[in-house]
Structure 1
Amino acid sequence: MDSARWNKMSISEQILNIGGEVQRAVDRKERHEMDLAKSYLNKALDWIDLTKNDPKNKNRIEEISIVEDELNDYFSANKYKNNKNSIMSYWNSFFSAIF
């Protein structure tokens, strides 16, 4: 997705889109389908970058960067010892607030 189109979305829409990809990635990781998990993760990370670069989100960059770091860690060394529930608790809080 191009940045102009992404930037037209509200932060809520951006987070929902990212969260959907994160959920797919986490679910695939849990099923040991790592190729699909990485594909969904990469899409989520691309959208996180777009979100960080969206001028309306300039005050949210630190939070978004922390989430990005947690995701990258969860899908690699997992030094933070996250699991599906801990990763998804962040995203689920947005889902429940919006819906």
Structure 2
Amino acid sequence: MTSGGVDAQAGAVFAALADPTRRAVVRELSRQETVTASALAGELPISRQAVSKHLALLAGAGLVTSARAGRETLYRLTPDPLDDAMRWIAEVGGQWDRRLEQLRRHVGG
């Protein structure tokens, strides 16, 4: 069974990625080492202010970090929470696989 912390982290990731615009932001971040909110706004059909709000939500889920570089803020994707969410999916999927196998043996045997 998963721990509460992993469940909470996975929940935050899933909630952040539920929005298609945030998924597009993550996709853009995965293509570059660092990027500014202005550059992201140039790649997406939303304003810089909207990009900043989406980045803040992604940061809250641990998916994005930021660092100041002069007058700009550079954003970077932090994939570890995605790995945690994938492990959660694999664990839950494995539990269902075991249950289905037990059901198959019970029904077939």
TM-score bracket, shorter-length normalisation:
0.3 to 0.5
Structure number with higher helix proportion: 1
**TM-score, normalised by the number of residues in structure 1:** 0.37
As a proportion of its length, which structure holds more strand? 2
Q: Which has the larger radius of gyration?
A: 2
